[in-house]
Structures are given as structure tokens and as C-alpha cells.
Structure 1
Amino acid sequence: MIMATCLVLFLSVFVWLGARAGASHIGLGSRLLARDQNEAWVSDNGTFAFGLTPAANAGDQFQVAIWFADLPGDRTIVWSANRNSLVNKNAFLELDTTGNLVLIDGERTVWMSNTSGAGITSASMEETGNFILHTNNNHSAWQSFEHPSDTLLPNQPLTVSLELTSPKSTSQGGYYSLKMLQQPTSLSLALTYNLPETYDASPEAYANFSYWPGPDISNVTGDVVAVLDDAGSFGIVYGESSNGAVYVYKNDGDYNGLESATNQSSTRLAVLRRLILETNGNLRLYRWDNNVNGSREWVPEWAAVSNPCDIAGICGNGVCNLDRSKTNASCTCLPGTSKAGGDNFCAGNSSSIGGCDSQNENKTSEFRISSVQQTSYYFSDFSVIANYSDIPTVSKCGDACLSDCECVASVYGLDGEKPYCWILRSLDFGGYEDTGIHLVREG
């Protein structure tokens, strides 16, 4: 992956708990209705609830979710089955007689656990925040911890086959993920921006960009698991006996260490915490505090990224700008692009095929050059069409882009005294303020 810091030529383009429906034992045939918000399946001590709850900012739409059941204010959701496919008030959730947990909206099956015929006899909402489907020998055949959404709870393992994902952008469909990336000789925990599904015909290397690397783990045997422990430390546990640990964040009050997090407890924790991959691409740890200037609320303890402009895609294909405090960001759109929807993303034709028509013929005469000051861009290796070392000037680097059918931008700079010119097919991971001078190719 490359972060360019030089000249760019761009082609425009109250708290609820009214009724506990089978808190400790949920039998086959049990059902919850979206229209009845006094019903949910609740853990024994009332910490978590599982059911249908209204989706935020979505009108009369609902999602299957797990939330903190006994906290005041709006429900804090820690897991969702259908956040990208909401249902109406006539929908219902049922653990049917075949052992399948299924969400029905009218004639449509929206979501299911796919456990029909697996010997399921009951379900339970655990004090850990894990919802489990049990067989007759009390074996776990399905659990929400193995299908995470955007939140990691204490002692919830994030294995190499799992990932946290943020909700998709309402305007352009991009989203963020936290997962282990396989390197040639190691595993690396990383935050990644993923382009919308409209890019599914493109190679994976082009469709995502990792902007925050966690620790690398190499030359180990046994499982490698990212985990948040009871004391609020977050890191990676590895080895045959989970006896190795690398911290991403260590809480000062953590005396037992990350290794203890692999032993899940069924009792309520003294302090409630959650690690969430937010819609803005940051990974943030929160602690519930019962006395914040007389209020009870979630308090942030740690964030993976301190500078929001270090997050790829935070402005779509626009440029992220920091205020004087260096903590708040705004987005500036480049010529040929504009803000789309309500999430501040810039969108436009930078993702299209340069100046090509359907016969792959060039239309360079339709474009002109304008300047953009102090801007750099994130782009993947795959975005580089060509890398020239024999183009001596900015204008000639721009000409090289204009003459290439696929080019949407070019980057010119000096490596010491040696010039280079990159010809790019995309700037869709966005940009940020920097000291470079940039030219924008506008049509």
C-alpha cells in the first residue's frame, strides 16, 4: 500500500424490561414480535437482551439485535443480524421446531441461523452477551460470538476467520473492517476501508485499503485470537495454550493479563465495556460510568486512530481537512465530485474509466487541468497503472495521464533528485492535507 505525498493530477469524475420471555431457557417454537417492544429474551441477571428493536434513524424499521438491557437511555446495540436489511413492525423472530432461528417479514425470510436439523433443543441469552443455540447434550451449535457485527465484548474471541464490520455507508455503500490479514510470513491485525460492492468485479487488492496496522504475529503455533479482557485491555493472544500475548492497548488496572480472557465467565462483570468499529472507521473502547458529572453514560477509554484524517475513505474520494484542534475533520470535494447523502462523503466520476469510451478509445480533448493545493492521496498498489522514472516535469507527467485511457490521476514527485511519475486508475480511498502541490484533471 502507498500513501502519496506529492503532486497529483486528478480526473474529475427508560430502561426497558417489561417482560422476560424465557430468559434462561428459550424452547423450540418461541417467538418474538417486532410490534411488541415489551418482549425480549434476557440473560439471567438482566445484563443483555436479545430481540427485535427499532433501528436508529430508520423510521418504523427493526433489526434483530443484542443490547445492554439495564442501562438508561437509548439501547446500546452490540450485535445485529440484519442491520443492512431491516424489517417492518409486522415481522417476527422464531426459534422454530426444526431448530432454526429465523426472521420473517411477510412472505420474506430475511435472515436465519441455518441450524435446521442440527439437533437444537433450546437457546439462551448469556451474561457474556453471547446468544447460543444448544443441542440436547448442551453443545453449542450456533452462537452470536461466532458471527460478530461491529462490536467486541470482553472475552469474545476474534479469530483469524472472523471480522468486525461497520454498517455500510448510506450514500455509497463502503464500509470498514477489523480483521487479521495474512502476510507472507505473519498475521497482522488491521483496520481496512472496503469499497462498495459495485466494485466486486475488481481484484480484491484494489477494493480495499488498510490504514491502521496492529501488531504482527509470526512463527507461532496454535490459535491466534484478538480479544478484549475483563480489565479493558485489548490485544492478541496466541500459542497452543494461549500463553503468548501482544497488547494493542493495556489498561493500567489489568493485573491478570490478556491470557485470562480466553476463559469466558458467565457472571456479570464489575465494569461494562465494549470495543466498537465505528461508522467513521475508528476502533474505540468505551466504559460505562455511573457518575460522569451526575450523569450515567459511556466514556471513551482508547481509540486506535487519533487523527481522523489518517482513516482512508472517511471523505469518500474527497479530501479530509483537520481543524485547529487537530481532532475534528471536515471534507472537501474535488472538481467533478460532490457530497452525497448525509454522511459527508464525496462521490463522483473518479471511479470511472478515465477517458475511455465503449470502444476503449481515448477522449483526452474533453479534459483540462486545474490545481489543488496541499493534498495527498491513499491508493493501493493495484491502482498504479505505470510508474515512470524518466518523466522530468510536472506537465509531462500530466500529459502521460491524459494519453492513457485508464488514467484518472497522476502523481509526480522527487525521490531525492530523481523524479517519478505514477499513473493511477483510482483515488477512491480519499485524500488528506499535506504539503504537496496537486493538479486536478477536470472534464
Structure 2
Amino acid sequence: MGFINLGMATPTRRLELICMFLMQVAYVLTIAQLLLSKEIQLVTAQNTAKLGSTWSTLGHGQQVVTALISASNPYRLNLQEVPGAPVGRPQCYATINFENPPPVQVWVANYLSNGIYSAGGICSLKLGLDGNLVLSQSGSAIWSSQTANKGVQSIQLLNSGNLVLLTSAQAIVWQSFDHPSDTLVSGQKFPLGSILFAADPNWPYSSAGIYSARVQEYSNDLSLFVDFDHPGYTGPIPDYNQSFGSDRYWTLGTEYAEIVNSWTPYQARYVELNDGLTVFNQNGAPVIHAPSNNLNPDNFFAEYARLEPDGNLITYVFLGGPGSAGWQVNFQALSSLCEHPNACGPYGICIGNSAAAQKCAGCPVNFKPVEPSDLSQGCTPVKHLSSLCGPAVNLLELDGVTYSLFQNFYWFGELIPTYPSLLVSKAQCRAACLDDCACTAAFWYNATFPGQECFKLHGSVHTIQNTVTGPAGYHTAFIKIIT
């Protein structure tokens, strides 16, 4: 842009020159704005950052800052400031989202950091010079990768959605895939010893610690567990005796699955989501496979599996073809209401001979609804038990009911219960619970095989299910009450 001499020009010419000058200035400003915008986009679009990189919110609430974005897939590492967190929950979260609309949250850094929180203020995520990735609020650390002084030189968000901390030789020191929250994405291995915890129904950034998913080595299976009495239980899961820790209520091998290789105990090593859920053995060969339902294989396809807040494991597929775009349910572990361990709350009764007709029907005798307008909240005793033993303790007998945790699963002609059982008569089952000061309820079945079985429950009683097959007298519950 050259020098403009206004002194030698006529008034009309001066006006024309001034307009030309202003147009040139506007053009330069527009170009500068575009360049600046492009620079910001380039910074945001980076999938790698070095030591010392820091991202911060403004501390004003509802702030989302994109730290990294994968090179070719729509995964983003976001720093989020979420006001209104329940007591004991942080307000700052580092999450990985699959951004294809609608966005899906697939990982949370501080998913199990309940009780470690700050009252408010600016959230920051920093890869320190020591190689430790730290999430903080108002300067107080909420979560870290615990990788200080382990040779970390950079952070990268891979196209798979895996967040990795790398050495200078690109070796992985830490990866988000080893620390799942409630979701598995395509290509993610879920190994023996790892745990998926379902999210809190009222706060999707943290877990309530009640429902979990794990690989079971003995049965070569992916199983779902519930722990009403010890939320967040991370101890060992026995092969048969589930009377402490967590209780199993579903396995992949019972539904939607195909046995691919011959079954041998203690072979399972990991589950992978890749065109469906597959259990693999130590040699990398599939043992059980539940295929996805990709109806449009020529279009964009993605999938994820989530352990939902109600304890249901659901896999979703994204079908990108015309008229079919969006996430669709591929399969779900629990296909009906009464299969859920807590569908109708403590002591609530779930009825219905078909999935469409199932509903919460109220409470047993000597119990009342927690909330009469919402029977899913369960029931409470009219007289509360102060002790499980003594002359005032009696047993309420209910015929035609069962309990979701006392299911039998069919493995190679062998019925293996999820709970220890006694092969006794109905009268003996009643006495066994009444005389046991830890027993809260017992469920007796007169089965064709292996015969009359009695399951004692030690812990809180949750949803009771009406039976849909067999005479009512073949299924009986004994529930401790005060008379």
C-alpha cells in the first residue's frame, strides 16, 4: 500500500483516495483476522503437545477448552468446568469425546476422584516438566497420571481415541485405554483385571461404584456385577462364591454370543470392541464373539460400548448412510425391566410375562413404598430390623418370586450358580436363613436340575421378580421382618 498525497488533489479526488485507503485497510484487517483464525484452528487441531503445555478455563462456569484433537478421527480431549456438581464431586473434568454428532463422552480422567475437589475457580490441565499430567482447580490437584520422572516427553491423542504419554522414542508410558471409565471404543482392549464402572445416574462425570464390568478368567467371559453394600469394590471376584464383594447378574456367554473356539477354563485375557464384543484368550484367539449389526458396511461406521447408569451394558453403532445417520443400539445385555438388579428398588416387586408388559408392582406385605408416585424407588419395612436374630424376627414367605442375582448360567451342560447354594428342602431353606444372623433373605427353587436349591442372601435386598415359568410353589422367597 503506497503513500497517498492528498494535498495536490481536488476535494472530489481526496474523497475517492480516502475511500480507497479505507478499503485497503479493511482488506488488510480481514486478511489478518483470517490468518489469526487459521492459527487458532491449527493450535486447536494439534494432536500432540510437549512438556510444559497448559490449558485453562476462564473460571466462569460452563467452560470447555479443547486441548487436543486426533489427526483423522473426531476425538477431542476437552478440559471442562462444570458448575453445579453434587457434594463431593469435582467441578473440573478432563474428558475425551467422540465429536461426530451427537457427541459421546468416552473417557473421563478423574472418573473415580470422588471426594477430591475444589469449591470453584479456574480449571487447568498441564503436562509438567517432570512428565506428570495434572488436572487442577484453583491450583489444587484433582487428578494426575502419576508419571513424574518416568521419561515422558509428550502427550498425544491417537486416532483410536487413546490418550498416550510418550517418551522421546515414542514408547507409551501411560495410556487412557488402561484406565477406562464406563465406555469402550472401537479397537480398545479391556484386559483381565480392569474394571468398567457405571456412571452416577445424576452425574455422568463420576461413578457411583455400584455396577461394574470385568473379564472373568475361569469362565472366559465378560460379566456384569453389582455391589449394593460396598460401592466401588475392587477386590478379587471368586469364581463361584459371589456372597461377598460383587454379585454377578449377567455374562456375555449367555446371550448374543457365539462360541468360536473350544472352551477351556482360565483362558480369557481381554475383551475387545471391534465389530462387536469379543473375548480373546492368551494366544489372541477369539473365545466368545457377539457381532455388531452393521447394516451399512460401505458407509462410515463407528461403535462404542457403555455400562449404563442402570447397570445395562449396551453397544451402539453409528451408521453414516443417508437416512440412517446417528447412534443406534446394537445390542443390550438386559432386554427387559425385570432383568435389572435394581429396577424396582429395595424390596420392590417387578412383574410381567413379557418385556413390554413388565413394570414395578409395589411392595410385599409388611412393606410400604418409599415414594407411592414412583414405585421404582422401592420399598421400606413398616418395622425396621434392628437385628437379624432374636425372638421378634420372623420370615415373610412369598411364593412365585425369584431374585436376579440367583440366576443359573448354562456352560457346557453344567449349571453354575452365581451364588452359593444349599441343596435342601423348602423347610430346611427357611430354617437355614432364620438361624443365620447374617441372612437377610433366602430364595428356594425346586428345579429339574440340580434339584431343590436354597440361596441365602447376606446384604441388602433389592428388586424381587415374579417368575414367568413353572408353578408358583416352585419358587419361594423368605424375607426377614419384625412381627
* 8 Å Cα contact 1:181/1:188 also seen in 2: yes
Shift of 1:238: 3.2
1:166 alignment counterpart:
198
CA distance in structure 1 between the partners assigned to 2:429 and 2:221 by the alignment: 36
Deviation sequence 1:254-274 (CA, Å, 0-9, x none): 99xxxxxxxxxxxxx931211
Counterpart in the other structure of 2:337: 308
Residue 145 (structure 1) aligned to one of 174, 177, 183 = 177
C-alpha separation in 2, matches of 1:180 and 1:142: 21
- 2:47 maps to which of 24, 28, 33: 24
Checking the alignment, whether the CA contact within 8 Å between 2:305 and 2:315 is kept in structure 1 is yes
Please state whether the residue corresponding to 2:338 is helix, strand or coil: helix
Residue in 1 that maps onto 2:273: 228
Shift of 1:67: 0.2
Q: Residues 195-217 of structure 1: CA distance to partner in whole angstroms, max 9, x if unpaired?
A: 34369699963221212223487
SS of match in other structure, 2:211: strand
Segments of 5+ residues of structure 1 without an aligned counterpart are 1-17, 256-268, 357-361
1:285 aligns with 2:315: yes
Question: Could you tell me how far 1:441 is from its partner in structure 2?
Answer: 4.0
Is the CA contact 2:441–2:477 (under 8 Å) kept in the aligned structure 1? Answer: no
Whether the 8 Å contact between 1:276 and 1:285 is mirrored in structure 2 is yes
Q: Retained in 2: the 8 A contact 1:377–1:427?
A: no
CA RMSD of aligned residues (A): 4.3
Work out the number of aligned pairs and report it: 393
Give the structure 1 partner of residue 291 of structure 2.
249
In the TM superposition, 1:170-209 aligns within 5 A as 173-183=208-218, 186-197=219-230, 205=242, 206-209=244-247
Contact 1:286 1:301 survives alignment (8 Å): yes
Q: Secondary structure at the match of 2:101?
A: coil
2: CA distance, partners of 1:339 / 1:176: 22
Query: Structure 1 96/245 Cα, relative in aligned 2: closer, same or farther at 3 Å?
Result: same
When normalised by structure 1's length, the TM-score is 0.72
82, 98, 103: which one aligns with 1:68? 98
Native 8 Å contact 2:263 2:287 kept in 1: no
Question: What is the match of residue 56 of structure 2?
Answer: 33
Shift of residue 429, structure 1, vs aligned partner:
5.3
* Structure with more of its chain in strand, by fraction: 1
Q: Once the 2 structures are TM-superposed, how far is the Cα of residue 145 of structure 1 from its aligned partner?
A: 0.9
Counting only pairs closer than 5 Å after superposition, residues 400-411 of structure 1 correspond to structure 2 as 401-411=433-443
Distance change in 2, residues 1:432/1:44 (3 Å): same
CA distance in 2, matches of 1:22, 1:89: 26
Q: In structure 1, what residue type is equivalent to 2:166?
A: H
Task: Determine the C-alpha separation between the residues in 1 that align with 2:235 and 2:272.
Answer: 32
Question: 1:213 matched to which residue of 2?
Answer: 251
Looking at structure 2, the residues matched to 292 and 429 of structure 1 have their Cα atoms a distance apart, in angstroms, of 45
Higher mean C-alpha displacement, 49-58 vs 186-195: 49-58
1:414–1:285 CA distance, 2 compared to 1 (3 A): closer
Distance 1:270 1:412, change over 3 A: closer
- 1:387 Cα deviation from its structure 2 partner: 4.6
Matched residue, 1:14: none
Letter in 2 for 1:99: G
Name the stretch that deviates more: 54-63 or 282-291.
54-63
The aligned amino acid for 1:302 is F
What's the counterpart of residue 130 of structure 2?
98
Query: Following TM superposition, by how much is the alpha carbon of 1:226 offset from its aligned partner in structure 2, in angstroms?
Result: 1.2
Counterpart selection for 2:189 from 138, 157, 168: 157
Question: What residue identity is the alignment partner of 2:277?
Answer: F
Structure-2 separation of matches of 1:297 and 1:140: 33
Q: Residue 438 of structure 1: CA displacement?
A: 4.5
Moved more, 142-151 or 83-92: 83-92
- SS of equivalent residue, structure 1 residue 276: strand
Q: What secondary structure is seen at the aligned counterpart in 2 of 1:145?
A: helix
Asked if structure 2 preserves the Cα contact closer than 8 Å seen for 1:31 and 1:94, the reply is yes
Taking structure 1 as reference, are residues 208 and 176 closer, same or farther at Cα in structure 2, changes over 3 Å only?
A: same
- 2:46 and 2:124 map into 1 onto residues whose CA distance is 18
Q: Percent identity?
A: 21
Quote the residue 1:6 is aligned against. none
Question: What residue in structure 1 maps to residue 481 of structure 2?
Answer: 442
Matching residue's letter, 1:375: V
Counterpart code for 1:298: W
Change (3 A) 1:424 1:202: farther
Please point out which of 403, 408, 420 is paired with 1:377: 403
Q: Distance in 2 between matches of 1:32 and 1:109?
A: 14
Within a 5 Å distance, the mapping from 1:348-359 to structure 2 comes to 355-356=387-388
Unmatched 5+ stretches in structure 2: 1-39, 254-258, 407-416
The aligned residue for residue 74 of structure 2 is 47
Residue 280 of structure 2 aligns with which residue? 237
CA gap of 1:373–1:173, structure 2 versus 1, over 3 A, is farther
Q: Which has the larger radius of gyration?
A: 2
Report the Cα distance in structure 2 between the residues aligned to 1:118 and 1:343, rounded to whole angstroms: 53
In structure 1, distance between residues paired with 2:143 and 2:369: 35
Letter of the structure 2 residue corresponding to residue 214 of structure 1: L
2:350 is the alignment partner of 1:321: yes
**CA distance 1:337–1:127, shift in 2 (3 Å):** farther
Aligned-partner Cα distance in 2 for 1:57–1:433: 40
Higher RCO (Cα < 8 Å, 6 or more apart): 1
* CA deviation vs aligned residue, 1:12-71 (integer Å, no higher than 9, x gap): xxxxxx8554622211121222444243311123601112235698489342210013x3
TM-score, normalisation: structure 2: 0.67
